[in-house]
Amino acid sequence: MFESLSDRLGKIFEGLRGRGALNATDVDNAMREIRRALIEADVSLEVVRAFVEQVKERAVGAEVTRSVTPGQQVVKIVHDELVAVLGDTASPIDLNARAPVTLLMVGLQGSGKTTTTAKIAKRLSEKNKKKVLLASLDTRRPAAMEQLRVLGEQVGVDTLPIVSTETPVEIARRAEREGRLGGYDVLILDTAGRTHIDEELMAETVAIKDIANPHEILLVVDALTGQDAINVARSFDGRLDITGIVLTRVDGDGRGGAALSMRAATGKPIKLIGVGEKMDALEDFHPSRIADRILG
């Protein structure tokens, strides 16, 4: 197990109790530990650098109150700053638009996109009492379309019947029409993914966006992809102007650093986290909880 950042900082600051304010040397020592903790939490180096600078500015000269040690004081500054960068409050999916409200799911193959699509459908249908329609636009992989149909059935939500000769844009059009005429509240479009960023796929997804006019574009990212996830997030956001992120496999991501990298790279909120393979393993994202985990 890692020694928690709080413990490490406690050691650095031993004997400094009762000092009026933190000086630059105290803060430099603390920053080394903070940098290490963030890197261990798998936050990308670029984000670590920017973050440490920010914390340093706030920490030098900060008053040390009597009730806490300088170590605790720095931990609090880091915690507050993490929460600020992660987005302060939870950011739910926005359904405030004319029905059918369209959600476009994008991301690399294997990121958990189809699973997450079905999880969101289940949650909206059961908790929010919405009538949901699912459609897969992954025309290159019939198995992916079938997977969504099976998951839809499992969570009790309708899927658009599969017509194997249609293009993704044609399916998006048909889904919109079916969503409107069928009285659906929400339409979730699951797009094709590749194993890496690919220009042809991006162009196809942009064309789908233009037709579907989605209210939310949710990028699904695997929290375990670490440093690479930041490039993925930037590429998708650059082309599609995503509205939010769903981080998957957070159940296997011990320290939660991917959240900080994703948020810092795109400035877009993390809306939900996937915490397992089961259909109800989807949670709201709480910045303060992830900040606690990163700090250990």
Query: Binding site: what residues are annotated?
Result: 107-114, 190-194, 248-251
DSSP structure string for 255-279: T-HHHHHHHHHH-PPEEEEE-SSST
- Could you list the residues known to form a binding site for GTP, using ranges: 107-114, 190-194, 248-251
DSSP structure string for 181-243: HTT-SEEEEE----SS--HHHHHHHHHHHHHH--SEEEEEEEGGGTTHHHHHHHHHHHHH--S
Strands in 31-100 per DSSP E: none
> Is 254 among the residues that bind ligand GDP (CB under 6 A)?
no
Strand order in the sheet with 186-190: 158-159, 132-136, 186-190, 101-106, 216-222, 244-248, 270-274, 282-284
> Is 114 among the residues that bind ligand GDP (CB under 6 A)?
yes
- Residue from 100, 112, 152, 179 touching ligand GDP (CB under 6 A): that is 112
Token pair of 212 as six digits: 């579907």
> Is 152 among the residues that bind ligand GDP (CB under 6 A)?
no
Return the residue nearest ligand GDP (CB atom): 274
Provide the 8-state DSSP code for 250: G
- Residue from 44, 73, 111, 225 touching ligand GDP (CB under 6 A): that is 111
- Residue from 193, 257, 287, 296 touching ligand GDP (CB under 6 A): that is 193
- How many other C-beta atoms are found inside a 10 Å radius of the C-beta of residue 39? 14
Q: Which is nearer to ligand GDP, 174 or 194 (CB)?
A: 194
> Is 122 among the residues that bind ligand GDP (CB under 6 A)?
no
Provide the 8-state DSSP code for 160: P
The least distance separating ligand GDP from the CB of residue 185, rounded to whole angstroms, comes to 23
Q: Which is nearer to ligand GDP, 55 or 157 (CB)?
A: 157
Q: Which is nearer to ligand GDP, 145 or 175 (CB)?
A: 145
Range in contact with ligand GDP (rule: CB under 6 A) among 62-70, 160-168, 236-244, 248-256: 248-256
Q: Peptide bond before 100: cis, by omega within 30 degrees of 0?
A: yes
Distance CA 274, CA 105 (A): 14
Binding residues for ligand GDP, how many (CB under 6 A)?
18
> Is 113 among the residues that bind ligand GDP (CB under 6 A)?
yes
* Residues in region 262-281 near ligand GDP by CB under 6 A: 274-277, 281
**Entry field: residues in the chain:** 296
Where does this chain bind ligand GDP (CB under 6 A)? 107, 109-115, 193, 248-249, 251-252, 274-277, 281
